């Protein structure tokens, strides 16, 4: 990567960095939505089986993502310092470790898919749908693990649009193959649930080839056999120092969310359905915050590598102002359209009214979430990775979970109580992260990062 390209990334506008990442992030959640919608035409049993199998697949993708997160941050440090050799070493280590991690996970799921589904208490009558789907999807997850690594390498170099184009192409291919393979069109056999899995596998394989070609063409990094067999232990340690806390935070959030979902399940079927639909719509608002957080992380990582700490400090404050503004506007639009959007999912007046109330409460929830998503990524970019996960665990399990039980079940406030618990958790964490940034305690980590890459 030339010095001109590095300056271009560092000085890029936040919007120019963010919108391709937003489209890409949105594209990542679409395959599951498309698969579920297509398979719903085969019956409720098929959808239920798919949902359980996808829990295992989703957990594994979170496992792969910690290498992607850690490698992206470390890459920006080397690129900011102008160290191309160090950046290539990080890219090679990221791809290599995710390949082997993906292979181990793929083989484990392929061999023990039956046992995993039984462990999740899958009803025996759903096993004929779920087991072959999981064996095929899970048995080829190494493709997704490589894609995550390649995508992180491209984004860290500032090639956010290229990663977006690949994500869009993967979704289009998945949609076309779903229609053909699930329903047996154009002379293809009618494969049902297996067709949904096969279409996802083929589209992931195509994305893997495209990303490898882009890494070679745009970054002038030839993907060689040595990337998979010769891993730098020192580089891997730096990646894990950032990536493992990030993974811990994500897994902690998922675990607390599962417990809260269990509380909601005790409120009844209507409340559970309302909760599920409101969460799906909230994902759209959340994706904007995630995208601004990732683009800010890339920019600040380059600044830390270059030793520009004051510029990094100011960049976070600018990004946070933009993020809060975009979040408020987007949430207002979703609130205004809430009855119509919820009507696309359900015709039950109780569900539509209940979901609309939750989305109105999101006017308080989403700004707090934006504090988290933007500031946490920026702290991680400075090397300050442990504080977010420790603070997150304390707040998720000390605020969100007990407050959801207290307000939602004990006081009988139902879903409104759960949403208030989410809001309190996000604001507690968000303000704590903001105070951490304003204190500039992170600078000691940034100095250590800068000293390492300069050496």
* Cβ atoms of 336 and 256 closer than 8 Å: no
Does 449 or 393 have the greater pLDDT score? 393
- Count the helices and strands in the chain (H runs, E runs): 17, 0
Hey, which of 37-51, 64-78, 190-204 has the most confident mean pLDDT? Answer: 190-204
Whole-number pLDDT of residue 94:
84
What is the rounded radius of gyration, in angstroms, for the C-alpha atoms of the chain? Answer: 22
DSSP-derived 3-state class of residue 13: coil
Whole-number pLDDT of residue 158:
76
- Tell me the average pLDDT across 175-203: 82
Whole-number pLDDT of residue 426:
93
C-alpha to C-alpha distance for 83 and 285, rounded to whole angstroms? 37
- Tell me the average pLDDT across 3-29: 62
Q: Which of 7-11, 155-159, 230-234 has the lowest mean pLDDT?
A: 7-11
Q: Nearest Cα to 285, choosing from 346, 337, 248, 345? A: 337
Q: Is the pLDDT of residue 46 over 70?
A: no
| The two structure tokens encoding residue 427 | 């604001």
User: For residue 165, which phi and psi values (nearest 5 degrees)?
Assistant: -60, -40
Q: Is the pLDDT of residue 336 over 80?
A: yes
Residue labelled with tokens 């039956």: 114
Q: In the chain, pLDDT over 70 holds for what percent of residues?
A: 86
| Residue range 290-331, pLDDT digits in tens | 888 888 888 888 888 888 899 989 999 999 998 899 889 988
Q: What is the pTM of this model?
A: 0.74
| The two structure tokens encoding residue 430 | 């968000």
DSSP-derived 3-state class of residue 262: helix
Dihedral over Cα of 143, 149, 155, 157: its sign: negative
Whole-number pLDDT of residue 3:
44
Distances (CA, A) of 388 to 80, 328, 374, 420, 434: 23, 24, 12, 22, 11
Sequence-ordered alpha helix ranges (H) in 157-268 = 160-183, 193-219, 226-229, 233-265
Q: Which of 11-20, 232-241, 444-453 has the lowest mean pLDDT?
A: 11-20
Dihedral over Cα of 370, 160, 329, 408: its sign: negative
pLDDT band at 87 (very low <50, low <70, confident <90, very high): confident
Whole-number pLDDT of residue 286:
81
Dihedral over Cα of 175, 283, 140, 47: its sign: negative
Q: Which of 50-59, 77-86, 392-401, 442-451 has the lowest mean pLDDT?
A: 50-59
DSSP calls for 277-310: HHHHHHHHHHHHHHHHHHHHHHHHHHHHHTT-HH
Whole-number pLDDT of residue 2:
42
């Amino acid at each position: 990567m030339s010095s001109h390209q590095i300056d271009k990334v560092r000085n890029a506008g936040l919007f120019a960095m963010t919108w391709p990442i937003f489209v890409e992030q949105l594209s990542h959640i679409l395959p599951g939505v498309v698969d579920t919608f297509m398979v719903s035409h085969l019956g409720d049993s098929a959808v239920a089986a798919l949902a359980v199998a996808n829990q295992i697949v989703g957990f594994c993708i979170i496992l792969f993502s910690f290498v992607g997160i850690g490698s992206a941050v470390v890459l920006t440090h080397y690129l900011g310092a102008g160290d191309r050799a160090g950046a290539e070493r990080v890219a090679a280590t990221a791809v290599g470790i995710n390949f082997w991690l993906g292979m181990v996970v793929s083989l484990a799921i392929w061999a023990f898919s039956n046992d995993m589904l039984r462990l999740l208490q899958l009803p025996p009558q759903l096993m004929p749908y779920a087991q072959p789907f999981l064996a095929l999807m899970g048995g080829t997850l190494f493709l997704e693990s490589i894609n995550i690594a390649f995508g992180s390498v491209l984004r860290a170099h500032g090639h956010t649009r290229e990663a977006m184009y690949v994500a869009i192409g993967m979704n289009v291919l998945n949609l076309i193959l779903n229609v053909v393979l699930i329903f047996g069109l154009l002379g293809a056999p009618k494969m049902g649930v297996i067709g949904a899995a096969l279409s996802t596998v083929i589209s992931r394989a195509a994305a893997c080839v495209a990303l490898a070609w882009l890494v070679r063409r745009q970054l002038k990094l030839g993907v060689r056999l040595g990337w998979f067999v010769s891993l730098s232990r020192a580089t891997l340690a730096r990646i894990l120092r950032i990536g493992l806390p990030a993974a811990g935070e994500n897994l902690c959030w998922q675990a607390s969310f599962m417990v809260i979902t269990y509380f909601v399940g005790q409120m009844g079927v209507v409340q559970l359905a309302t909760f599920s639909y409101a969460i799906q719509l909230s994902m759209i608002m959340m994706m904007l915050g995630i995208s601004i957080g990732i683009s800010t992380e890339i920019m600040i990582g380059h600044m830390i590598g270059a030793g520009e700490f004051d510029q990094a400090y100011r960049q976070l404050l600018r990004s946070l102002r933009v993020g809060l503004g975009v979040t408020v506007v987007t949430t207002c639009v979703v609130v205004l359209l809430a009855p119509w959007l919820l009507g696309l999912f359900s015709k039950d007046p109780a569900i539509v009214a209940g979901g609309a109330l939750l989305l109105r409460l999101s006017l308080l929830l989403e700004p707090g979430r934006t504090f988290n998503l933007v500031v946490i990524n920026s702290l991680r970019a400075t090397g300050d990775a442990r504080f977010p996960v420790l603070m997150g665990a304390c707040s998720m399990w000390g605020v969100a979970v007990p407050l959801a039980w207290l307000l939602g079940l004990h006081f009988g406030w139902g879903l409104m109580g759960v949403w208030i618990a989410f809001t309190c958790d996000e604001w507690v964490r968000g303000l704590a992260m903001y105070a951490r940034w304003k204190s500039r305690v992170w600078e000691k980590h940034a100095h250590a990062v800068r000293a390492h890459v300069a050496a």
